[in-house]
Structure 1
Amino acid sequence: MTNQKQTKLGAQNSILSAARVRRLSPEQLGISAPGQQSDQIDDSDQGEKLHSAAVDAVGDDEDGIGAAVLTSDETLHTGIPIKGEGWGTHAIELAVSKAVSNGADGISSVAVYSVDGQSGLCGRCLQALADTRDGEVTIEVLSSEGFENSFELTDLTPWVSQS
């Protein structure tokens, strides 16, 4: 057995290590802290900003999918699909997760973008919206050609009541 010196780093940190740990603030990571508002928008720009955010979320990925959700407090959150070995998160799921983790009360509108306008909506994503909705939710599907279609969540999910 070796004599290793271990140091407790903090009362709330249970990791023991002789190495120094650098703590980063949410601002240094480019994210909002829990409970902080991110990208609040007003009603006049709501649709345009929602669409732009979904398209911008894709970045340089020409075949990518991007989603943007608007919460009842008019906060905008975006997401893209994340693929892992044996797991993954869809664009809408990630956007909803970010909204919920930042303290959103409910989702009111969604825009989902894909080049062909055919990708981006599935049962998992619809369920995430149904679980976090604030009344009726409008879902707008966008393609590289522009606006494709608009749906109400209750039209796509008959099991969801309109309450």
Structure 2
Amino acid sequence: MTITPQGAVVVRRRIKARPETVFSFFTDHDRWLSWQGVEGSFDPRPGGAYRMRVVGDAIASGEFAELTPHRRIVFSWGWENEGDPVPPGSSRVQIDLVPEAEGTLLTLTHSDLPEPARAAHQDGWEHYLGRLTVRAEGGDPGPDLWMQEAEEAEEDD
């Protein structure tokens, strides 16, 4: 994981699954929600929108810009929650999938993030790409601990 001098968050994962399999976890509704989010809608085509409740009441939304089968996915990213420093459409996520002998090298680059939001997004992508890796390799990452913590915090309020 890296934050570049330009402020982009870069996270890499080696996944023991073919690029076609990994790609499907960004284009299939149920597969996406198996590693990130609890509910959402996805229209994975250029210009298509997505909206998902990631954790607690945090809603991420944006629009797909590019889908090159089994190679690249690009979409805008932001949070609908009032006062969030990353509003919908204000940042860009690019996911590159490179075939390797044992699977896929996934490189996620999240750019156009304001400085105060970079570390949190880096932590978030580390968390969720870890869950994606387990799912794409055929495993079960189990319940999202971040969701459980958010639900418990809501109960305490």
TM-score (norm 1): 0.27
User: Which TM-score applies when normalising by structure 2?
Assistant: 0.28
More strand by percentage: 2
Q: Bigger relative contact order, structure 1 or 2, given CA contacts below 8 A and separation 6+?
A: 2
